[in-house]
Amino acid sequence: MIGVEDWAEVRRLRRVEGMAISAIARRLGIARNTVKKALASDRPPKYERPARGSLVDEVEPQIRGLLVSCPTMPATVIAQRIGWARSLTILKDRVRVLRPYYLPPDPATRTTYEPGHRLQCDLWFPPVDVPLGAGQVGSPPVLVMVSGYSRMMFALMLPSRQAPDLIAGHWALLQGMGAVARELVWDNESAVGSWRAGKPKLTEEFEAFRGVLGIGVHQCRPRDPEAKGLVERANGFLETSFLPGRVFTGPDDFNAQLAGWLPVANARQHRALGCRPVDRWSVDRDAMLVLPPVAPQLGWRARVRLPRDHYVRLGTNDYSVDPVAVGRFVDVLADMRQVTVRLGSRVVAVHERSWARWQTFTDQDHKAAALAMSHTAAHRPPASPADEVEQRDLSAYDAAFGVTEVA
């Protein structure tokens, strides 16, 4: 049998140069019958090894019989049932080939996305140590959002996964987009919602948030990551393409580097789309809903009575407050950057929010005011004794009511 090169040369010599069969045979050093076969075949020669039998051939009827009764029967169970004592690998290979013929058809439906319809959301915990301050390092959550139609990625590191920070992160990313999709897709993140009695249930905070936006939220069933595969793959892409070789000085630096990298990632050629995500973004965004003119309630909000030690707690950290508000109700407001305490319309504390945990932050003015108040209270003169009240003789009451004393 000749190779493809000799086969092609035989046909060229015959057709182009018009050489005789014997001349071609002499030129190439092959038999004339081989030349005749090459000229008679319009397809290149292909070597095919004859199929050899397998040890599994003898027991294949038994395997088929077991698969008829139970198509999902494991190969190890099949081996026990038929008394297979040889290599389990070749038996598994044959079962893998035969099983699809006995399983009922289970086709998958391809998911398609309309412009402006869905944003898939997830929290990604980057496997890297980010300095948080006070000598602490950690891996705060990163909110990742991927648009279904354009595959545009948006991401932001958050101080925590609790509802106030999560909703604030949503609003920050949506403001960057300039629009909001008609539906957000989430799994069972505790700050978003959960499944109860077989039904999805959003948290009160997230219900209020989606109500202000006027959109829907699709909650995936538990243990179904494929339902939001776009954002799951985006998490993996961030881990393999953004993180390697990077060093971060803190959460702000992480977000700054991430913001610089995302435009590059969104301008790459997307294999499934056949174009760049940024090329589809204008159509996608134009089909989304406009953001409401009034922002939803964002960040942490609490109303507490300020204790004598004039500190308020946010998360696990304590922040000092002007002691003039001790014993009175104050409003604690916080976003991802700042903690503000108000006494009515008066601001009595402003602190930079810390991402570290179990820390105490004291404003020196608050400390000095508290010491001055304590000194004043300690040196205050004692209160003067109360004026003595005259005691009326009880006999005057007897006379007034006409009571005569009995001897």
**pTM (global) more than 0.75:** no
Asked, for residue 350, whether it belongs to a domain, the answer is yes
183, 184, 187: which is closest to 223 by C-alpha? Answer: 187
pLDDT at 3: 86
pLDDT at 374: 86
Tell me how far apart the alpha carbons of residues 191 and 349 are, in angstroms, rounded to a whole number. 28
Asked, for residue 388, whether it belongs to a domain, the answer is no
Count of domains observed in the chain: 4
Structure tokens at 360: 């105490």
315 and 276 in a common domain: no
Phi first, then psi: give them for residue 62, nearest 5 degrees. -70, -40
198 and 171 in a common domain: yes
Asked, for residue 144, whether it belongs to a domain, the answer is yes
Asked, for residue 389, whether it belongs to a domain, the answer is no
63 and 19 in a common domain: no
Residues of the chain with pLDDT under 50: 407
pLDDT at 367: 94
Count of alpha carbons within 13 angstroms of residue 203, beta-carbon side: 16
Tell me how far apart the alpha carbons of residues 258 and 252 are, in angstroms, rounded to a whole number. 10
174 and 275 in a common domain: yes
User: Which residue range is the domain that position 325 belongs to?
Assistant: 300-378
pLDDT at 386: 58
